[in-house]
Amino acid sequence: LKFGVFVGHFFSSSSTPSVAMKFHWWVFSPVVFPWTGQAQQAGTVTPEESPSIVIQKCTIAEGCKDKDMGLVLDANWRWVHNVGGYQNCFTQEGWNPEFCPDPETCKENCALEGVTAAGYINNYGVHQIYEGDKVTGVKLDFMTEGGNVGSRLYVTEKNGKKYKMFKLLNREFTLDVDVKTMNCGMNGAVYFIEMDKKGGEGQTNHAGAKFGTGYCDAQCPHEKFETNASWGICCVEMDIWEANKYATAYTPHPCSTVGPVRCEGDIDCGYGENGERWKGLCDKDGCDLNSYRMGAHKYYGPGPDFEVDSDRPLTLVTQFLTDDGTDEGTLSEIRRLYVQDGKVIANAPSMIPGVTGSAITDTFCNAQKAAFKDYDHHQEKGGLASMGETLKRGMVLSVSIWDDYATHMAWLDASFPPGEDPEERYGVLRGPCNATTSDPTIVRAENPHGYVKYYNIKYGEIGSTFSGTRRLEPIHT
């Protein structure tokens, strides 16, 4: 479950880049068409110096091999200025009417700018993690001295011109995380979305993946500079890790879409307040597996009293298992494992009456929706079989850090929906936090030095990306 649009911090000084507009393809299902108006311009003032990262591809037979890739900052955080000049197109007061009287003119008049290596570090708090001379991960600061809050980056191919498309059906995805400074109301998120591999680059978008364009997710976010609030961009989303040190969840969000799709109106976009949320193109709630929400309150948290200690680095493994153990099978289970101190730790089993299991399956999801009295949009959008088709087509990897003005992250780590009594409805209690004190104004004041680390990222055949002293039950029987 994810609410609102993921945005960065706005700046008005010319010395600090302002947040930029996002460009998405507009789609009229079932055929995809790029927008036919003016083009999104690529800036030439500042060179794009995206950080590199090494991600490993693994097989049982040959082990893990390094693959050189890159990380690129989302367009929403970038400086947007007038073409041929240095004036901000967007400030804290909004779009500059001189350059942006309407979206079409704004695209023609404004350029999306690059970010230097120093800018990634100083302006946006993006730091490479080294093991010897090899870049094995990234550290994302929650805030920077210049005033930026949060960041979102995408993994690209080595040349930076296209996003890396991960095809994970009948595969596993593994990474190490460090969330010890991530307090209530904060979220370090790692997830896959079915973005266009070129970021929508083409005749109407000269920026593309090199400048972090083309974002979409299952919440159908609004295009940044689009004035029509009833339009959005939807695509399938697979949340691998949404977490702070008090709560964590992983969640498939299937959609009735292929690639990024433009939605129009409250029904398709799921924007309305009268049940439209469950009539749109995407399953916005998803089928989340949050161990705390499932009743295992001593499983994940800070300190040695928890089975998985979030005060210390940990390895998380996500396996996308098919019904027959082949690449042509149907996705039947999304399994989570942890590795800490060399021990493989199985995910906590559900303690909710009527809901059994410790992994996401259609049976688990259906039972959970019934027990929590939640609308089952997950099955309406095809459940795991639908998600599996997207994993087979390929998805873009995003890593981020953020806070939440809309719900104060209560959907992850506190009681949600607000006003519901956890004693009277299962599933309301999602973590031990208090949403009242997770207002971003408080979170930012109390956590100026917060950060998250993502490193040792691997993907490959089932059982090839991790090792431990305790093996679990067979994957297939």
Q: pLDDT (tens digit, 9 = 90+) per residue, 269-305?
A: 999 888 999 999 999 999 999 999 999 999 999 999 9
What does residue 133 show for φ and ψ, rounded to 5 degrees? -100, 10
Q: Look-up: residue for tokens 């994810």?
A: 2
Q: pLDDT-derived band of residue 311, with 50, 70 and 90 as boundaries?
A: very high
DSSP 69: E
Quick one: pLDDT at residue 92?
A: 82
Residue pair 113/17 in contact by the 8 Å Cβ criterion: yes
* pTM for the structure as a whole: 0.91
Residue 163 tokens, joined: 């996003």
Cross-strand partners of 316? 175, 338
Residue 308 tokens, joined: 């998985």
Quick one: pLDDT at residue 475?
A: 39
Half-sphere exposure of 24 (CA within 13 A, CB side): 27
Give the closest residue to 102 by CA, choosing from 21, 156, 24. Answer: 21
Question: What mean pLDDT comes out for the span 24-36?
Answer: 29
Residue 72 tokens, joined: 């690129």
Question: Is the pLDDT at 471 greater than 80, yes or no?
Answer: no
Question: Is the pLDDT at 245 greater than 70, yes or no?
Answer: yes
Question: What mean pLDDT comes out for the span 324-346?
Answer: 98
Indicate which residue of 48, 172, 194, 237 is catalytic: 237
Question: What mean pLDDT comes out for the span 91-113?
Answer: 90
Q: pLDDT-derived band of residue 13, with 50, 70 and 90 as boundaries?
A: very low
In what helix (H) or strand (E) does residue 82 lie, and over which residues does it extend?
strand 80-82
Query: Can you tell me the distance from the alpha carbon of 71 to that of 9, in angstroms, rounded to the nearest whole number?
Result: 20
Q: End-to-end alpha-carbon separation of the chain, Å? A: 32
Name the amino acid, one letter, at 172: E
Q: Render the burial of 156-183: b for 16+ CB within 10 Å, e for the rest.
A: bbeebebbbbbebbbbbbbbbbbbbbbb
Give the closest residue to 5 by CA, choosing from 248, 272, 215. Answer: 215
Give the closest residue to 457 by CA, choosing from 317, 360, 319. Answer: 317
Question: Is the pLDDT at 227 greater than 90, yes or no?
Answer: no
Three-class SS of residue 62? coil
Quick one: pLDDT at residue 91?
A: 84
Q: What is each CA distance from 389 to 1, 278, 318, 327, 376, in whole angstroms?
A: 21, 21, 17, 11, 20
Quick one: pLDDT at residue 22?
A: 27
Query: For strand 343-346 and strand 27-28, is the pairing parallel, antiparallel, or unpaired?
Result: unpaired
Question: What mean pLDDT comes out for the span 168-179?
Answer: 98
Q: Look-up: residue for tokens 């519901």?
A: 420
- Lowest-confidence range among 26-40, 49-63, 92-106, 140-154? 26-40
Half-sphere exposure of 256 (CA within 13 A, CB side): 16
Q: Look up 264 and say whether it is catalytic.
A: no
Q: Look up 237 and say whether it is catalytic.
A: yes
Q: What is the pLDDT of residues 56-70, one digit of tens each?
A: 999 999 999 999 999
Angle at 459 between CA 317 and CA 341, to 5 degrees: 35
Long-range contact list for 320-323, CB < 8 A, 24+ apart? 320/168, 320/169, 320/170, 320/171, 320/172, 320/173, 320/388, 320/391, 321/170, 321/462, 321/475, 321/476, 322/169, 322/170, 322/388
Q: pLDDT-derived band of residue 38, with 50, 70 and 90 as boundaries?
A: low
Q: What is the pLDDT of residues 408-443, one digit of tens each?
A: 999 999 999 999 999 999 999 999 999 999 999 999
Higher pLDDT, 228 or 467: 467
What does residue 237 show for φ and ψ, rounded to 5 degrees? -135, 135
Quick one: pLDDT at residue 469?
A: 60
- Residues of the chain above pLDDT 90, percent: 83
Tell me the pLDDT of the chain averaged across its residues.
90
Q: pLDDT-derived band of residue 29, with 50, 70 and 90 as boundaries?
A: very low
Question: Is the pLDDT at 6 greater than 90, yes or no?
Answer: no
Indicate which residue of 48, 194, 223, 242 is catalytic: 242
Residue 323 tokens, joined: 């019904």
Quick one: pLDDT at residue 79?
A: 94
What does residue 197 show for φ and ψ, rounded to 5 degrees? -65, -25
Give the closest residue to 394 by CA, choosing from 263, 250, 282, 235. Answer: 235
Residue 160 tokens, joined: 């930076």
Q: Treating both helix axes as pointing N-terminal to C-terminal, what angle do 383-393 and 362-372 enclose, rounded to 10 degrees?
A: 130
Give the closest residue to 348 by CA, choosing from 361, 360, 359. Answer: 359
Q: pLDDT-derived band of residue 225, with 50, 70 and 90 as boundaries?
A: low
Cross-strand partners of 176? 315, 455
Residue 229 tokens, joined: 């609030």
Query: Can you tell me the distance from the alpha carbon of 352 to that of 184, in angstroms, rounded to the nearest whole number?
Result: 24
Q: Render the burial of 302-326: b for 16+ CB within 10 Å, e for the rest.
A: beeebbbbbeeebbbbbbbbbeeee
Give the closest residue to 293 by CA, choosing from 467, 442, 415. Answer: 415
- Lowest-confidence range among 31-45, 100-114, 215-229, 315-329? 31-45
Question: Is the pLDDT at 200 greater than 70, yes or no?
Answer: yes
Quick one: pLDDT at residue 176?
A: 98
Question: Is the pLDDT at 197 greater than 80, yes or no?
Answer: yes
